[in-house]
Amino acid sequence: MIRVEQLVKRFQAGGRDVLAVDRVSFSVAAGEVYGLLGPNGAGKTTTVRMIVGLLRPDDGYAEVDGFRTSSASDEVKSRIGLVTAEDGVYPWLTVREMLLFFADLYGVPFDVAQERLQGLSELLQIDTLLDRRCAVLSTGQKQRVTLGRALIHDPPIMLLDEPTRGLDVIGSQVVFEYIAHLRKQGKAIIVSTHQLDEAQRLCDRFGLLHQGRLEYEGTLRDLQQLTGRESLVDMFIGLLGQPVIGPLPAAG
Partner 1 sequence: MNHEGLDSSRSLGAPNAAASSQETGASPVPTGAARPKRRASGRLLRLCLKELRETLRDRRTIVTLVLMPLLVYPLLSILFNRLLSSPRSNKTQFTCVIGLDVAKEDNEQFRNYMLLSEEVLRRRQAMRKSEDQQKSPASSVGGEQAGPEPTIQWWSGTNLEKPVAAGQVDVGVVVRRPNAARPGRTLQVQLLYRESSSLSQIGVDYLQRRFGAFNEQYLVERLQVVGVNTRPPIESEVRAIRDARPAVSLTTLIPLILILMTITGAVYPAIDLTAGERERGTLESLMAAPVPRLSLLTAKYVAVVTVALLTAVANLFAMTVTLVSTGLSEAVFGPNGLPPVLVAQVFALLILFAAFFSAILLAVTSFARSFKEAQAYLIPLMLLSLAPGMLSLMPGLKFDGMFSILPLVNIVLLARDLMEGQVNATLATVAVMSTAIYAVAAIAVAARIFGTDAILYGSQATWSDLLLRRPESRTAPSVSGALLLLAVLFPVYFLLANGLQRLDWLSMSIRLALSGLITAALFAGFPAVSSALQSVRLRDAFRIGPAAVAGFAAAAMFGCSLWPLAHELVLFSRTIGFNTLSPEQIQGAEKVVEALRQLSPAFVLFALAVIPAVCEELFFRGYLFAALRQRFSAAGTILITAVLFGTFHVVVTSGLSIERLLPSAFLGLMLGWVCSRTGSVLPGMLLHVVHNGLLLLIMIYRDALQRSGWGLAEQEHMPRMWLAAAAVTMLLASLLLIWGTRRRSSASSSGDR
84 near partner 1, rule: CB under 8 A = yes
105 near partner 1, rule: CB under 8 A = yes
Task: Provide, rounded to whole angstroms, the least separation between the CB of residue 235 and partner 1.
Answer: 29
Figure out which of the listed residues 6, 27, 73, 224 binds partner 1, where binding follows CB under 8 A: 73
Given a contact cutoff of 8 angstroms between Cβ atoms, the answer to whether 134 and 89 are in contact is yes
Question: How far is it, in rounded angstroms, from Cα 211 to Cα 206?
Answer: 16
Q: Where are the beta strands (DSSP E) in 59-210?
A: 59-64, 67-68, 80-84, 157-161, 188-192, 205-210
DSSP reduced 3-state for 192: strand
Nearer to partner 1 among residue 1 and residue 191 (C-beta): 1
228 near partner 1, rule: CB under 8 A = no
| 104 burial via Cβ count (<10 Å: 0-12, 13-18, 19+) | middle
30 near partner 1, rule: CB under 8 A = yes
Figure out which of the listed residues 19, 54, 248, 251 binds partner 1, where binding follows CB under 8 A: 54
- Pick the stretch among 121-129, 146-154, 227-235, 237-245 that binds partner 1 (CB under 8 A): 146-154
Figure out which of the listed residues 7, 37, 62, 150 binds partner 1, where binding follows CB under 8 A: 150
Figure out which of the listed residues 56, 59, 219, 228 binds partner 1, where binding follows CB under 8 A: 56
Nearer to partner 1 among residue 42 and residue 52 (C-beta): 52
b/e burial code for range 108-124 (CB count within 10 A of at least 16 → b): beeeebeebbeebbebb
Q: Quote the distance between the C-alpha of residue 223 and its chain's center.
A: 21
Question: How far is it, in rounded angstroms, from Cα 252 to Cα 228?
Answer: 21
Residues that bind partner 1 (CB under 8 A): 1, 11-12, 30-31, 49, 52, 54-56, 65-66, 70-71, 73-75, 77-80, 82, 84, 86-93, 97, 101-102, 104-109, 112, 116, 146, 149-150, 153-156, 185-187
